[in-house]
A and B are shown apart, each in its own frame.
Chain A
Amino acid sequence: MRNVIIDEVYQIMKKNKDSYFLTGDLGYNTLEKIEKDFPGRFINVGIAEQNMIGIASGLALSGKKVFVYSIIPFLIMRCFEQIRNDVCYHDLDVTLLGSGSGLTYGILGSTHFALEDLAILRSLPNMTIFSPADEMDAKLGIKFSENFHHPLYVRIGLREEAKIHQHPYNFKFGKGVVIQKGKDLVFFVTGTLMEEVIKASKIIEKEKGLTSTIIDIHTIKPLDKELILKEIHGKKVAISVEEHGKIGGLGSAISEILSADKKLVHLIMIGTEDLFIQTIGTRSYLRKNLQFDSKGIVNRIKNLI
């Protein structure tokens, strides 16, 4: 997914001579094409994220469109105040490209995981949060962002992800996409766990005879409130799925809507617990171990549906 995103950013930078790309010394073997073809507009600022966001803001205040790249915790957490005060408070055309959603960095452990980023960024006014489920989502989203001139966060899975959307569709930030329709359950999913949810829904249909609606919530902020309220209507159970903590992410955001709208539906939140993950392993191992794979998802909900 990262390569697709960088390719689309490249296309934007090719057309928009007032666009810049900043990296915090990361992206080896990924960003070289941008560095080579747009030499004046690619800056490796070194491992200094607070300064990186400040520089991005200075460029954006001078009328530039700025892309900023790093691994999610370094990009979002280390320099959060700069994102808040310099980017969001000024409402600038800065796109934060965060690599390594959720448990992507597997064997590197907690310092490289991104399980709080949605919670943290949801709290910022003017921030749009984009969490693509596959390469098509990612491609359409970046393309759309060419004419989007406000703070944007893109949550990137790293490598080959399953293909969810077969064809391009009419993309818009804040508009969820129906992946499949069912009668009994509704899954609201963000990010690359979509593949596991689709598999899980097939298992549930086979074992319990229950069918599922599955919605791709590719934009966490602004949330597609209308679609969410529409799709829970008539459903016994709603399930939110994210490779992120239960606190403050997609599940929390949906809860906020449900309680404000006085909707009584059982919302099961699938996300990581309020604990640092002590298990070591690749992302697929961790997904299995922490019950984020299709079997795990079924396990989590089978006695509640």
Chain B
Amino acid sequence: MLTDKEITHLTNLSKETRRQILKMIVKATASHIAPSYSIVELLVYLYGKILRIDPKKPSDPDRDKFILSKGWAVSGLYSILAHKGFFDKKLLDTYCDDGGKMIAMTTINNIPGIEASTGSIGHGLPIGAGMAAAMKLNKINKRVYVIIGDGECDEGSIWETALIAAHHKLNNLIAIIDYNKWQSFGRTNEVLNLEPLKAKWQSFNWQVIEINGHNFVEIELAIKKSHLSKDKPTMIIAHTVKGKGLSIIEDNNDYHYKTPREKELLVAKKEGLI
């Protein structure tokens, strides 16, 4: 069980990650701050407490794997990988630089710690399932975690993987939906209603856990429960807020695209993100 001290530490790390994301995105005049912010607690918890990985041995076959299927939310992942020592923090200052390495989409590109190049939705979960299958077939006792977007559940390939992961009892595959209820053009329930989302994944024979995706206690409980599954892959439906952590951009889909400027940065300063 997480102690108060640990929760404080994770919360501080989340704030620091949001600071870093803001810095990177403003410097590059880039998009995607809101979808990056909604998954910060999930990334911080996974990389802080769960993933059995070693920055000194990024290709060790005996490792847990994390795939960011919603590849455009990469700024937080870069920040956390740098914090963990996978590469020099200075690289973060080159985010989106012409001729640089830090692309605005999750890409292997010689960046240690990235497991798969994503960007078109619906690819990360099938790839993750393939990796989970490889682990089982090779008797490697590790797990694969995949964060997918809620809009991503529109893609047929997600449901193809839902079928096969359950059929082959890939209990070492843990998927998390960043359920911030927005996609590109509108709210998920206005574009293509996903509800009842929990019932859908349950009917596909997945273990399904619903949580507040910004609450470390709930995240911890869900991950623990996923580790207990003997024969089902797990889907954690994480209810999140797009843009969580900077009040002026929260739940506002403009900030899927819009770079924070003076107006937003004033609020960011007040809220301790600068």
Interface residues of A (CB under 8 A from B): 20, 40-41, 43, 45-46, 48, 50-51, 53-64, 81-82, 85-86, 89-90
Whole-angstrom distance between the alpha carbons of A145 and B220 in the complex? 46
User: Separation in Å of the A18 CB from the closest CB of chain B?
Assistant: 8
Contact of A85 with B119 at beta-carbon distance under 8 Å, contacts A54-B127, A58-B133 already known = yes
Pairwise interchain contact B61-A51, C-beta atoms closer than 8 A = no
Knowing A48-B160, A54-B161, the reply to whether A62 touches B135 (Cβ < 8 A) is: yes
User: A82 to chain B: which residues have CB within 8 Å?
Assistant: 123, 126, 157
Q: Would you call B157 and A51 a contact (CB within 8 A)?
A: yes
The main secondary structure of chain B at its interface with chain A is: helix
Distance of A23 from chain B, by nearest CB (Å): 13
B117 within 8 A of A: yes
CB pair A61–B163 under 8 Å, yes or no, is no
- Chain B residues whose C-beta falls within 8 Å of the C-beta of A56 in the assembled complex: 130
The A/B interface has a contact count, at CB < 8 Å, of: 92
B51 in contact (CB, < 8 A)? no
B208 on interface, CB distance cutoff 8 Å? no
CB-defined contacts of A58 to chain B, threshold 8 Å = 116, 126-134
> B residues bordering A, Cβ < 8 Å?
61, 108, 115-117, 119-120, 122-123, 125-135, 137-138, 156-157, 160-161, 163-164, 167-168
| Min CB–CB distance A16 → chain B (angstroms) | 14
A41, A50, A54: the one within 8 Å of B130 (CB) = A54
* Docked pose: A55 CA to B131 CA in angstroms: 7
Given A48-B163, A51-B126, A54-B126, does the pair A40, B157 have CB atoms closer than 8 Å?
A: no
Give the CA-CA distance A59 to B135 in the complex, in Å: 9
A51-B126, A55-B129, A90-B108 known; A62 vs B134 contact (CB < 8 Å): yes
Are A85 and B164 CB-contacts (below 8 A) given A54-B127, A54-B129?
no
Q: Which of B125, B130, B131, B132 is packed against the most chain A CB atoms within 10 Å? A: B130
Judge whether B116 and A61 touch: CB under 8 Å.
yes
